[in-house]
Structure formats: structure tokens, C-alpha cells
Amino acid sequence: MNFKKNFNTMTWVLIPVAIAINVVVGQIVLTLKLPVFLDSIGTVLVGVLAGPWAGALTGLLTSIISGLAINPDSFNWWPVGLFIGFIAGLTAQFGLFRKSWTVVVSGFIIAITSALLSAPIQILAYGGISPWGISFIVSYFMKLNFTTEQSVVLANFISEPIDKIATALLAYSIIQGLSTRFLGRFSQNDLVDKDRRGKLTNIISAGIIIFLLLVLAFKLLSIIPE
């Protein structure tokens, strides 16, 4: 957990690229109209490679920069990105980024963190219904006589795991595709599996498809009124 060790020159140069990856992949996902965000792949990548502090900084700066350059609404969500990066770095320190199935566990832990943080923001800044797609799920729970707070928390706990597990798996498959020489320049390089890269990419993309299909299944179920 050495703060200084996280930040060598490679980390400082990787952070801007990671922020751009967050934003641009988020936009590609929007173009493809997929039912997820996938807007924190870069944050998780930096957290895993360089450490929790560097990940936290990447997450924080992503909301500041997309607030400055795209939509000021992003400023509201800064704690979420910050903790996603931090927790991603921590889970990597516990060795969860060595195998693809433990990455799923890591993604789930990141999702819980993210849900716990975005729920209060959604309640405090927007009163529960924000101008984002998740509000349809929130509204559905409110209709079932849950309180606003319960609905927001439930909706977040449903939507976050799928998004964050897919994010963690994508970050993992990116790391698998990078050269040992490149990875060796980051402080946490010993925490990622360096031997079996490349082979898993197919399995991982299959995993992502399964998760997205689960999302679709959920969306279809929630449209049918009881």
C-alpha cells in the first residue's frame, strides 16, 4: 500500500490513456446500444497494474475530465469512480487478478462498492430518479411499494454486478494481451498472471456475452407486469 510506489512515470503516462479509454469505450457501448455502461475499464486497468491509489486517482479524474469536456453531470459521481479504482487495486493485491474466475469475484466486489456509493448519490442529488436508464428499474421497485431508498439500493445491486464483472473481465483480457516487458514497468506486475496469456480471451468474451444475455433476460422479465 505504498502511495509513492504506485506512481512511477509509466503510471503517470498510463492514466491519461486510461481516462480516455473510459470515456471512449463508454461512447462505443452507447453506439452499440448495449444495456451496460462499461465506462470504467481504464480505471480498473490502472488499479490492477499500478495499485489502489493510482486507480483511485484515475477514477476521480475521469469524472472531473468528463465533467469538464463532455457533461458537467459527471462531477456528481466522482466518489464512485474513485472507489472503483481503489477496490480494483486492492482485490489485485489479494491475488484476484491471477485467474479468470477470481476476476469475476473481484468484479463482484467492485460492483458492491460501486452500488453502495452510487445509491446515496442518486438519492441525495436526484431524489431517487436520475436522468439515467437505471431509474426505470428504481421506478419499478417503487411501484411494488418499496421506499425510495430501498428501490434505489435494490436497483443498483441488480444492475451493478453485471456491468462491473464485465468491466473486470475486459480489463483482465486487456492485461492478458499486453507484453511482459510492458507489464514489467508497473509496480503490481507480479500480481497478474503472465504465463497463459492469449488463450483465455475467447472464454472471456463468451463470459461477457452470457452476462449481457442475463441483462437482457432481466429487462424482458421486468417489462412483463405482474
Partner 1 sequence: MVDRLSFYLKRSNWFYSLNPITKLTFIFCLLVTIYSSRNIYPPIYFSILVIILSFLAQIGKEFLKSVMKIALPTAGILFLMQSFMMQLGNSSIFEFFIFKLTIENISYAGISAARIFLMLISFLLFILSTHPSELMTDLTRRGLPGQLAYVVVSTLQILPQMQAKAAAIISAQRSRGLDTEGSLAKRVGALAPLVGPLVFGSLVEVEERAIAIEARAFMSTLKKTSLKEVADTRLDKTLRIALIAITVGAFLWR
Spatial contact of 94 and 55, defined as CB atoms under 8 Å apart: no
116 touches partner 1 by CB under 8 A: no
Angstrom distances, CA of residue 111 to CA of 73, 160, 194: 21, 5, 26
Smallest separation (angstroms) from partner 1 to the CB of 143: 5
Per CB under 8 A, the segment of 70-78, 95-103, 156-164, 189-197 that binds partner 1 is: 70-78
Residues 133-192 that bind partner 1 (CB under 8 A): 135-136, 138-140, 142-143, 148, 170, 174, 177-178, 182, 185
If 0-12 CB within 10 Å is exposed, 13-18 middle and 19+ buried, where does residue 129 land? middle
Residue 43 to residue 46: CA distance in whole angstroms: 5
Taking the least distance from each CB to partner 1, the nearer of 101 and 131 is 131
Residue position matching grid coordinates 462499461:
38
Q: Which of these segments, 93-101, 104-112, 128-136, 157-165, binds partner 1 (CB under 8 A)?
A: 128-136
46 binds partner 1 (CB under 8 A): no
Question: 224: how many CB neighbours lie within 10 A of its CB?
Answer: 6
Do the beta carbons of residue 215 and residue 162 sit within 8 Å?
yes
Point out which span in 34-42, 78-86, 95-103, 110-118 binds partner 1 (CB under 8 A).
34-42
Q: How far is the CB of 70 from partner 1 (least distance, A)?
A: 6
The one-letter amino acid at 158 = I
Instruction: Find, among 90, 19, 78, the residue nearest to 51 by Cα.
Output: 90
Q: Kindly state the cell numbers that stand for 105.
A: 469475484
User: With binding defined as CB under 8 A, does residue 203 bind partner 1?
Assistant: no
Site residues for partner 1 per CB under 8 A: 7-10, 12-17, 19-21, 23-25, 27-29, 31-35, 41, 57, 61, 64-65, 67-73, 75, 125-131, 135-136, 138-140, 142-143, 148, 170, 174, 177-178, 182, 185, 205, 208-209, 212-213, 216, 225
